[in-house]
């Protein structure tokens, strides 16, 4: 055995490295929102079908994550945050990630077709296509609105869950999509305001760099206001109700207050307290999405006892 | 000084994790498809399997 081969075997992947290709943290959001979409739908689903559908939606999301890592391997090597991913770390070969991503994409879509029907499978296929081709390959490196586009891909799971149950698309499912879609930009841009990142090294245009931090603050408030409209509109649909509405009103008031607070600050104030307002806003954004979808679940649960809804 | 040959190299552990992990995933997948099949074809009271005596309502 030569020294070279010893060195290479040191980098051989374990099971966890392949699992890391599927971006498990993103998958947890996918699983949660897809599950809510499926449960709040007016058509009951057999628990086994629900379990299978959620797993295949998660698998499809994971597969698109692997394809994203395959395409972005060149810039992942340049940024500190992503250097430990399986491909830049040398654990998984690029071609291997591509094969896994493609194979799992087809498997997930086919199996979701069998479990949840044509509409759900078509939506999953479109989500993968959108995330990999439209976002990763095309827009991520060409526009500072990349976060907005990427957010759309992450917003599809509740729509897919709804489609598994009902076999279609409706106002409710579109508004659940819009909730995550409008939530993503303020969430990520707040993060971009206080985390030192090296997107510039990798030539990825981030709003904070291309248009400046003040423009980013304005964008955060704009999307936060749009988000409030969507969140309240969702409360007026068949899956909303007093509980959801109460949660939505409180959270959106807090969120708008936070966004205005950020807008009023300049960089001097922001650096002076180590971005305290931005950090608080980011923390709130995590609770915001979780509690909105959680409140929808509460409405559905109360509905089973004749208490939920309007 | 002679290097001691280790029977269990770290590499073996990683290969084992891959094999065991994949094995578990495949078993779960088979179980999932089996469960899905039972749920899809076995629980609908309106199913007419085309066998005399199994029509809905009988």
Cα–Cα distance measured from residue A217 to residue A220, given in angstroms and rounded to the nearest whole number: 5
Question: Which of A305 and A119 is assigned the larger pLDDT?
Answer: A119
Of the ranges A125-129, A295-299, B34-38, B42-46, which one carries the lowest mean pLDDT score? B42-46
- Specify if A129 maps to a domain: yes
Domain boundary, last residue among A144, A167, A190: A167
- Domain end (from A136, A167, A198): A167
Sequence-ordered list of residues with C-beta below 8 angstroms from that of A261, at least 6 positions apart, any chain:
A277, A281
Predicted local confidence at residue A113, as pLDDT: 97
Residue A262 to chain B, least CA–CA distance (Å): 46
Residue A3: inside a domain: no
Give me the numbers of helices (H) and strands (E) for chain B, helices first please: 1, 0
Domain boundary among A137, A167, A197: A167
* Dist. CA A283–CA B40, nearest whole Å: 42
What percentage of chain A has pLDDT greater than the value 90? 84
Contacts of B6 in chain A (CB under 8 A): none
A102 and A193 within one domain: no
Instruction: Tell me, yes or no, whether A104 and A201 share the same domain.
Output: no
3-state class (DSSP) for residue A87: coil
Cβ atoms of A72 and A191 within 8 Å: the answer is: no
Number of separate domains in chain A: 2
Residues 6+ apart with CB under 8 A from A73: A87, A88, A94, A97
The alpha-helical segments, DSSP class H, found in A117-156 are 118-129, 146-155
Is the residue at A26 inside a domain? yes
Q: What is the pLDDT of residues A252-281, one digit of tens each?
A: 999 999 999 999 999 999 999 999 999 999
The verdict on a CB contact (< 8 Å) between B15 and A12 is yes
Same domain, A105 and A247: no
Q: Are A40 and A161 in a shared domain? A: yes
CA nearest neighbour of A298 among A97, A216, A290:
A290
Residue of chain B whose Cα is closest to the Cα of A8: B11
Spell out the SS3 assignment of A212-265: HHHHHHHHHHHHHHHHHHHHHHHHCCCCCCHHHHHHHHHHHHHHHHHHHHHHHC
Average pLDDT over residues A86-109: 96
Rounded to the nearest 5 degrees, what angle is found at the Cα of A180, between the Cα atoms of A219 and A230?
75
A30 and B CB contact within 8 Å:
no
Residue A61 lies in a domain: yes
User: Are B18 and A18 an interchain contact pair (Cβ–Cβ within 8 Å)?
Assistant: yes
Token pair 């990683």 is at which residue?
A: B14
Looking at the fold, whether A125 and A259 belong to one and the same domain comes out as no
Sign, CA dihedral A200-A204-A206-A210, equals positive
Contacting residues of B for A49, CB less than 8 Å apart: 36, 39-40
Average pLDDT, chain A: 93
C-alpha of A59 from chain center: 14
Domain contains A204: yes
Give the percent of chain A with pLDDT over 70. 97
Name the token pair of A70.
């395959």
Cβ pair A158, A41 in contact under 8 A: no
Do A108 and A235 have their domain in common? no
Same-domain status, A120 and A184? no
pLDDT band at A6 (very low <50, low <70, confident <90, very high): very low
A11 reaches B (C-beta below 8 A): no
State the DSSP code for A81: G
CA–CA separation, A239 and A223 (whole Å)? 23
- On whether any CB of chain B is under 8 Å from the CB of A48, the answer is yes
**Domain of residue A106, residue span:** 15-167
| ipTM of the complex model | 0.81
A107–chain B Cβ distance below 8 A for any pair: no
Residue A6 neighbours by CB under 8 Å, 6+ apart: none
Residue A9 in this model has a pLDDT that exceeds 60:
no
């Amino acid at each position: 055995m030569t020294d070279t081969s010893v060195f290479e075997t040191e980098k051989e992947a374990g099971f966890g490295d392949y699992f890391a290709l599927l971006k498990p943290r993103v998958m947890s959001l996918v699983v949660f929102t897809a599950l809510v979409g499926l449960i709040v739908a007016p058509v009951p689903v057999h628990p086994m079908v629900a379990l299978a559908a959620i797993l295949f939606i998660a698998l499809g999301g994971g597969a698109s994550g692997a394809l994203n890592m395959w395409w972005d391997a060149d810039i992942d090597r340049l940024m500190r945050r992503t250097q430990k991913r399986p491909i830049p770390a040398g654990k998984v070969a690029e071609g291997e990630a591509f094969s896994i991503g493609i194979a799992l994409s087809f498997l997930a879509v086919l199996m979701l077709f069998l479990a949840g029907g044509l509409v759900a499978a078509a939506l999953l296929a479109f989500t993968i296509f959108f995330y990999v081709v439209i976002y990763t390959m095309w827009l991520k490196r060409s526009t500072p609105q990349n976060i907005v586009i990427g957010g759309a891909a992450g917003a599809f799971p509740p729509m897919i869950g709804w489609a598994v149950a009902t076999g279609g698309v409706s106002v409710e499912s579109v508004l659940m999509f819009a909730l995550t879609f409008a939530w993503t930009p303020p969430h990520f841009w707040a993060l971009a305001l206080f985390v030192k990142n090296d997107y510039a090294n990798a030539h990825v245009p981030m709003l904070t760099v291309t248009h400046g931090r003040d423009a980013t603050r304005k964008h955060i408030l704009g999307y936060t206001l749009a988000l409030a409209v969507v969140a309240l509109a969702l409360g007026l649909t068949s899956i909303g109700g007093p509980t959801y509405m109460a949660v939505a009103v409180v959270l959106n008031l807090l969120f708008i207050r936070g966004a205005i607070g950020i807008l009023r600050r300049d960089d001097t104030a922001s650096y002076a307290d180590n971005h305290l307002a931005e950090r608080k806003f980011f923390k709130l954004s995590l609770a915001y999405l979780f509690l909105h979808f959680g409140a929808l679940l509460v409405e559905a649960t109360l509905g089973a006892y004749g208490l939920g809804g309007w | 000084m002679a290097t001691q040959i280790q029977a269990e190299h770290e590499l073996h552990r990683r290969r084992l994790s891959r094999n065991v992990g994949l094995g578990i995933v495949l078993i779960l997948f088979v179980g999932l498809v089996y469960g899905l099949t039972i749920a899809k074809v076995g629980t609908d009271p309106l199913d007419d399997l085309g066998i005399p005596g199994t029509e809905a309502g009988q």
